[in-house]
Amino acid sequence: MALELMAPLMFAGLIIVMLMGFPVAFSLAGLGLGFGYFAVSQGFFPEAFMGNLPLKLFGIVSNELLLAIPFFTFMGAVLERCGLAEDLLEGTGQLFGGVPGGLGFAVIVVGAVLGAITGTVAASVIAMGVISLPVMMRYGYDARYATGVIAASGTITQLIPPSLVLVVLADQLGRSVGDMYLGAIGPSLMQTAIFLLFTLAVAVLRPQWVPPLPPEARTLRGAALIKRVLWGMLPSIVLIFLVLGTLFTGIATPTEAGALGALGAVALAGLHRRLSLQLLWQAMDSTVRVTAMVIFILLGSSVFSLVFQGVDGNVWIEHLLADLPGGPIGFLIAVNIFVFFLAFFLDFFEIAFIIVPLLAPVAQKLGIDLVWFGVLLCVNMQTSFMHPPFGFALFYLRGVADQVHKNGAITKPVASRDIYLGAMPWVGMQLVLVAIVIFWPESVTYWLDKEAQVNTDDVHIEMQIEDTGSSAEPVMPEVPALPDTETPPPVTAP
């Protein structure tokens, strides 16, 4: 077998085992070891090349940056259960409830705030679904709009710092977490603004879909309403500063910022009088499960990528993508189409660990800023939570809708068809943001520190010329005389 066939066969084998439903981590490791043994037997690379594998795996488990993942996961798991989402939604719902689409505005704003303090999509979607879906359905909101806005607002969490996806992408792209977080600020604000504008358009064009709350449902007014809103917002703002403020100002590393966030989440749970051993146990159990899943996928993908590079897979990918028409823009469009369809079958961790290491060298060779590239992929991968029929946010919402109907919070069950059709406009808005980030890279790079650029055409060197009455010649500066020293006598051969 020729060496040129190994990389395509490895990639095809990866797709086959994914479609067969085998666990991703073990499939990657098994494929890597199997093809590695075959490559050694065929003489494609020596046995000593596989000796790099233990060093690479040890480098992963000793990577301090990855400690941020359990900290942020624990923070989100605690906040999911501490009552903060209820306070936020109740206060903002009362604040905006008097206008058409008010509950939709409240859900989007709260989704953005929760995204900035939890970093997990599941926590946001489940919390907002349990709290706001019954209220929306009770007061006549269209089922498709209600389910769509809840799922979409939960997926903002993946893009808004401190997103776990940005931490993983920073590690895979070799960029700092702080730069990835700064780069994601612009797209996350634009995504929130697009959602708000869509809700405003629905409120103007289809007000019967998003009616205002009746006066009897708006029980808080005046000082009581302000107090309720501040009670939900102020602790969140403090926690956001603990996590992001200390990171952006350089006071804390990503791992230390995650530890501060976990401590702040425990303090908020105590502030809401919901801190208990059961809550901590559930949060730790969720944290261990997510962290173990991420680490095993990363270990398996490292085995696969080592062998893939050994059989010149990176060269194959580079030749496949570097000559696409359109240059860097054509490359970005093709990659985003590929990632969009790949997200039907893989979650964001699997895409980040498997696909990103293959694409990053090509992007760097084309002169694409890797922070821009990583944030763009993050924007794209948030659609993986939304597009039917495999979107995880839709699965979460399906379970929430069944639960609230079973408990009697809503009288009419929500059909899966309404959930899927309700998600489609929001997926379209997410794809609009993908296009904006592709054609307007400053939306990402504007927040980053710019390196000083020197234009050599603007550099002028002036020399002082002394007029001697004849031809002008540059006057060389006088060289100071060296101090008098005794010269040693010459050494002669005997």
pLDDT for res 1: 66
From first to last of its 494 residues, the chain has per-residue pLDDT tens of 677 788 888 888 887 887 777 777 888 888 888 998 888 888 888 888 888 888 888 887 787 777 888 888 888 778 777 777 777 777 777 777 778 888 889 889 888 887 777 666 776 787 778 778 888 888 888 889 988 998 888 888 888 887 778 888 888 888 888 889 889 989 999 999 999 999 999 999 998 898 887 777 677 677 777 877 777 778 877 887 888 888 888 788 888 888 888 888 898 888 878 888 898 998 898 888 888 888 888 888 888 888 888 888 878 887 777 777 878 888 898 888 888 887 776 777 778 888 888 888 888 888 889 999 999 998 988 887 787 766 777 877 888 887 777 776 677 778 888 888 888 999 999 999 999 999 998 888 887 765 544 455 555 565 555 555 544 455 555 555 555 444 455 444 44
pLDDT for the residue numbered 486: 46
Radius of gyration of the chain (CA): 29
Rounded-to-integer distance, Cα 327 and Cα 365, Å: 11
User: Residue 171 in 3-state DSSP?
Assistant: helix
For residue 494, what pLDDT is reported?
42
Q: How many helices (H) and strands (E) does the chain have?
A: 22, 2
Q: So what's the pLDDT on residue 492?
A: 45
CA dihedral (301, 307, 309, 313) in degrees, to 10, reads -90
Report whether 430 contacts 386 (CB < 8 A): yes
d(CA 114, CA 123): 9
Specify the pLDDT at position 192.
Answer: 92
| pTM (predicted TM-score) | 0.77
How many Cβ atoms are within 10 Å of 473's Cβ, its own excluded? 9
pLDDT at residue number 323: 73
